[in-house]
Amino acid sequence: MAADRRSSWLKGVLDLLVLSRLTDGESYGYEIAKALAEAGLGEIKGGTLYPVLNRLEEAGLVEAEFRAAERGPGRRYYRLTALGRERLAVETAAWLTFHGTVRTMLSPGGTAP
């Protein structure tokens, strides 16, 4: 699969994946990127991830808190807001519907509903 195609697909769903990653509790950027990479989505660089986190924060979907560290630089921790949980549920349902339609269309003899 061409890297640019995979990148385009990821761009369309990255906000949703980041919100999903925060359902189990707060996390910081590097930890989020690592979890996405371990899930098989490839390396998500800071120049891609942090603008997503900032956009989600500006939209009120996540809250962020900076914490100083005893060693090394401090970290900015992100957590879902109630609005973020609601948006995650709505967008997840929409994505799964879209995915099902694409899957049907790609199947032999597949047609749209």
Per-residue confidence (pLDDT) for residue 108, from 0 to 100:
84
Q: Are the CB atoms for 66 and 74 separated by under 8 Å?
A: yes
Tokens of 34: 């690592």
pTM for the model: 0.86
Over range 1-13, report the average pLDDT.
76
Q: Are the CB atoms for 62 and 22 separated by under 8 Å?
A: yes
Of 90, 102, 77, 98, nearest in space to 15 by CA? 90
Q: Are the CB atoms for 62 and 80 separated by under 8 Å?
A: yes
What type of residue sits at position 17?
L
Per-residue confidence (pLDDT) for residue 5, from 0 to 100:
76
Q: In angstroms, how far is CA 74 from the centroid of its own chain?
A: 23
Q: Indicate if the pLDDT at residue 80 is higher than 90.
A: yes
